[in-house]
Structure 1
Amino acid sequence: MTTSVVAVPDGRTLLAVVVTVLAWASAFVGIRAVGQDVSPGALALGRLLIGALVLGALVARRGWVRPTGRDWRLLAVCGVGWFAVYNVALNAAEQHLDAGTTAMLVNIGPILIAVFAGLWLGEGFPRWLVVGMAVAFGGVLLIGAATSGADADVAGVALCVVAALTYAVGVIAQKPLLRRLPGLQVTFAACVIGALCCLPWAGALVADLERAPTSSVAGLVYLGVVPTALAFSTWAYALSRMDAGRLGVTTYLVPPLVILLGWWLLGEAPPPLALVGGGVCLVGVALSRRRSRRPVAAAPVPVS
């Protein structure tokens, strides 16, 4: 019997992981704050435009690997799903739900990725995946019950599920791309495609920015530079040096960090029953990652 040795990440890789998790956690709080002055579609467009500019400058320094026709199709799925629809749905969800509840709901994304991998990548449906799905679904029901006092809150839950679904589809499309194209280039191309999809909100973006206070404009710039351009870059750096499954586990820290940041910066916290539901969702995600054989590669909580 041979024993596999797991490499210990070096200091730079660990730093990249920390930066990624903190940046993505801060995005949920930033969206909640900026969303008071900028509409969901306009916020998605502004963030993606800024992220594309920063990523484009980085890609220009490293060169361009020519994508194939299949690559472009996968990039389109990733850009439309993960960057465009996901961002608009997430921004709209945070019009109705606090940042912590939103983060907990979107954290069902890794389970959905495993389901799609079983359907489309031939990775099957292990017993623990099915168990984890059932447990996580129970957590979603608890969060839904905690926010059922108003139709708008139920709509927020539905929007979070849409965000998690489109995120998962985008990740599945991205997975084969990273075998041939640099991660930074994939992120840049998907970001540009997402921005193009959000162009119908260009007029709303201009109008919102004219009325928005300086703090919201600065928040929009932050969302484009840090959680989008920087965090995706640090994620790609860490992913090239760590197993995807081990790296994906670190994103489970995002929801509790969002709850702490939301309480500290926004003075809000999820309802108690939603916290219980979020905990159940995390347990479900953890159970879904149990494997008797080779684990399915995990993915980060949707880029926020």
Structure 2
Amino acid sequence: MNNTVLGAICLSLAASIWGSMYVVSKYVLDFIPPITLVWLRYVVAFFVLYLILRISQNQNKNPEKFEKKDWLLLGWIGFIGYFVSISFQFIGTKLSDAHTGALITSATPAFIVIFARLVLKERLTTRKIFSLLLATIGVAIVVGWDSSLGSHLWGSIILVGAAITWALLSVYVKVASYNHSSLTITTYAILFALIFTTPFMLWEIQTNNIVLNTEIILGVLYLGTVSTAGAFFLWNKGMEMIDAGIGSLFFFFQPLVGSFLGWLLLNERLDLNFFLGGALILLGVLVVTLKKKS
């Protein structure tokens, strides 16, 4: 199995897991405020990843070496991606709605392609542009266009910020992967994000009540281990293995899977737009990943 196929599998799994996260988060957020939930996710994710990293390091006879610039890069990834971008997603959605959030953040792959060109000097090919256009139209059809979008001005602006910062994360993860493993990058970037999130979590719990029971604890553990540790690692691993511009398209699986699971578990309605948009998303991904035989 070549790197392109394996990278595509990792990115597809990551985006699909984030799509499924909507169902669990919808329940848990009724009992735990958003920033506190992010903080709990990062606590669980860090300890899981750090345990795996330590086991991996003990088996590796050539441990990774860190310089000051490496720590600065990991801190930047943790700050811009796991702290700023995730926070912007929550704040932007709160100031608008989940529908607007899904539509605007679907612009993330376009920003990834742009930053991949500027930072990584990746070629901006006709195939990439065509695939991006197909998949973007597909997401717009699945999510739909809401006429109230313009009424959520500040929320929409912040959600654009979320899309831009996640694109920066994806590109700089690729830069960090030249010297460090995806496991190392994910583990320490989440640690930095945990540090940045802590002051806001302490402020939030002073003004909000938190309810815990078995179902909520299991939900937090799922969000921390699967949706954070697992999905972040898979996304970073996939970005390591293929061009960032190509990998960006797999982000579109998130709203597709989220819509499907909303229908399956929450009795939400699926119409013809879901299947038409989903077909365009899959076509866009296939166009850019399936290379012509020489």
State the TM-score bracket (shorter-chain normalisation).
Answer: 0.7 to 0.9
Residue 226 of structure 2: aligned partner? 226
Alpha-carbon offset, residue 126 of structure 1: 4.6
Question: Would you say the 8 A contact 1:108–1:136 is kept in 2?
Answer: no
Task: Extract unaligned runs of 5+ from structure 2.
Answer: 58-62
Residue 259 of structure 1: aligned partner? 259
Distance 1:230 1:145, change over 3 A: closer
More displaced stretch, 16-25 vs 71-80: 16-25
Residue 299 of structure 1: aligned partner? none
The one of 31, 35, 39 aligned to 2:33: 39
Residue 194 of structure 1: aligned partner? 193
Using the size of structure 1 for normalisation, the TM-score is 0.71
* Percentage of pairs with the same residue: 22
Alpha-carbon offset, residue 189 of structure 1: 0.6
Which has the larger share of helix?
2
The one of 43, 47, 50 aligned to 2:44: 50
Alpha-carbon offset, residue 292 of structure 1: 11
Alpha-carbon offset, residue 31 of structure 1: 2.9
Distance 1:132 1:156, change over 3 A: farther
2:122 maps to amino acid: E
Q: Aligned partners of 2:76, 2:187: CA distance in 1, in Å?
A: 14
Q: How does 1:130-149 map to 2 (within 5 A)?
A: 146=146, 148=148
Alpha-carbon offset, residue 20 of structure 1: 3.2
Using the size of structure 2 for normalisation, the TM-score is 0.73
Alpha-carbon offset, residue 187 of structure 1: 0.2
> Pairwise CA RMSD of aligned residues?
4.3
Q: Aligned partners of 1:138, 1:8: CA distance in 2, in Å?
A: 24
Alpha-carbon offset, residue 108 of structure 1: 2.0
Residue 170 of structure 2: aligned partner? 171
Alpha-carbon offset, residue 35 of structure 1: 2.5
Q: How does 1:20-31 map to 2 (within 5 A)?
A: 20-31=14-25
Could you say what secondary structure the match of 1:194 adopts? Answer: helix
Alpha-carbon offset, residue 195 of structure 1: 0.7
Question: Would you say the 8 A contact 1:144–1:157 is kept in 2?
Answer: no
Residue 108 of structure 2: aligned partner? 109
2:44 maps to amino acid: I
Question: Would you say the 8 A contact 2:109–2:249 is kept in 1?
Answer: no
2:42 maps to amino acid: L
Distance 1:82 1:250, change over 3 A: same
1:232 maps to amino acid: F
Distance 1:165 1:223, change over 3 A: same
Q: Aligned partners of 1:178, 1:198: CA distance in 2, in Å?
A: 24
Task: Extract unaligned runs of 5+ from structure 1.
Answer: 294-304
Count of aligned pairs between the two proteins: 283
1:186 maps to amino acid: I
